[in-house]
Amino acid sequence: MELKHLRLETNPEGWHKLWIDAQGRKLNVLFEELFDELRLVVDTLRSTQDHRPVVMCSAKDKGFVVGADLKRILSIQSDTEIQGFLKHGQDVLDAWERLPNLTIAWIRGPCLGGGLELAMACRHRIVNNSIETSLGMPESKLGLTPGWGGTQRLMRWVGLRNAIPMLLGGEPIDAPRAIQWGLADGSWIDTEAIDAQMKNWIARLSQSANTERFSEQANLQEWKSSETWMAEQLQRGIQPQDNAMRKARSQILRCVEFGLLEGSASGQRCEREGFFELLSSPECQAILARFSQPKKNS
């Protein structure tokens, strides 16, 4: 199995580490070639009936995965192309989620946007207790929606009342809050051997119930009883000039609703089908152009 951006290592004690190391990037971002390699890992594990635990971790000094490759997104010129780009990632994450293996995202530093969507496709998440660790869905601030299932998976882990402010406001949460809300199962620290901590968490999580915390039915009931609160969240913190964010928030809520009423496949289709209209707006293009510029050293 030839991999460029991923590296699969097998621990002598019988579990795998899947290192994420996007070549040519200072930080890990998601793009087609990396998804292709993740699909190859999935297919290899399945074809060899390898059901050993897999711990997914970053080989970069800073961060887990900080989102999609914005330069790649900015290069997309058509609705067909963006839908294909998003569908590819959605299919790979769905396949990863369906693996029978115990999968753990081992997170330190920023885990944002597509990075959190990747982590939520794992069965468990363990976060480093440092102040640098943050988990969030900042797409609305860019004038976009999540595109790889974030509108569907987040509410299953943290519930609708916590998921909606994260999706609409775009602000990340820290490691303690992630644990408190159930987005993470626990934490790891830098002052102890990491492999030993991974081994302990594998043992603990192997014995735990492997279910999401909030059922679709519970979230649907919450949705039906929260119309006024939802309207408040839609307008919260919005300034008159924030047209891109306003449109993105409305589309995010639409995708959440589709997922609750018709199932996650419909919610993910909503993510794909509404993305290009948001992406192609001048306001969104300007925001993305600013974000994709190299940061100047102070």
105-122 pLDDT, tens per residue? 999 999 999 999 999 999
Other C-beta atoms lying within 10 Å of the C-beta of residue 176 = 13
CA distance 6 to 112: 19
Measured in degrees and rounded to the nearest 5, phi and psi for residue 49 equal 50, 40
Which member of 9, 13, 117, 271 is catalytic? 117
pLDDT at res. 35: 98
pLDDT at res. 212: 75
Which member of 13, 32, 81, 139 is catalytic? 139
Domain contains 298: no
Domain contains 150: yes
The pair of structure tokens assigned to 210 is: 């492997």
- DSSP lists the bridge partners of residue 57 as 19, 106
Mean pLDDT of 69-86: 95
CA distance 240 to 292: 25
Residue 143 in contact with residue 278, Cβ under 8 Å? yes
The number of domains in the chain is: 1
The per-residue pLDDT for range 233-267, each reduced to its tens digit, is 999 998 878 999 999 999 999 999 999 999 999 99
> What does the angle CA 288 – CA 291 – CA 295 come to, to the nearest 5 degrees?
155
- Show the DSSP H helices in the chain as ranges: 32-47, 70-74, 79-97, 114-120, 150-158, 160-169, 175-181, 194-206, 216-224, 227-235, 243-262, 264-279, 282-292
Domain contains 1: no
CA distance 36 to 41: 9
For residue 297, pLDDT over 60 is answered with no
Domain contains 128: yes
Q: For 193, how many CA atoms within 13 A lie in the half-sphere containing its CB?
A: 4
Residue 105 in contact with residue 124, Cβ under 8 Å? yes
CA distance 198 to 202: 6
- In the annotation, is 192 catalytic? no
CA distance 226 to 267: 19
Q: Which of 87, 75, 72, 65 is nearest to 20 (CA)?
A: 65
pLDDT at res. 210: 63
Among 57-66, 96-105, 235-244, 286-295, the range scoring the smallest mean pLDDT is: 286-295
Q: Which residues of 124-146 are buried (b: 16+ CB within 10 A; e: fewer)?
A: bbbbbbeeebbbbbbbbbbbbbb
For residue 209, pLDDT over 90 is answered with no
The per-residue pLDDT for range 152-175, each reduced to its tens digit, is 999 999 999 999 999 999 999 999
Domain contains 216: yes
Pairing of strands 134-136, 173-174: antiparallel
| CATH number for the domain that contains residue 12 | 3.90.226.10
CA distance 186 to 76: 38
The pair of structure tokens assigned to 144 is: 């976009």
pLDDT at res. 291: 79
Q: Is 110 helix (H, G, I), strand (E, B) or coil?
A: strand
- In the annotation, is 171 catalytic? no
Domain contains 45: yes
pLDDT at res. 298: 39
Residue 9 in contact with residue 16, Cβ under 8 Å? yes
Domain contains 61: yes
The per-residue pLDDT for range 29-41, each reduced to its tens digit, is 999 999 999 999 9
User: Which range marks the domain in which residue 121 is found?
Assistant: 6-292
Domain contains 27: yes
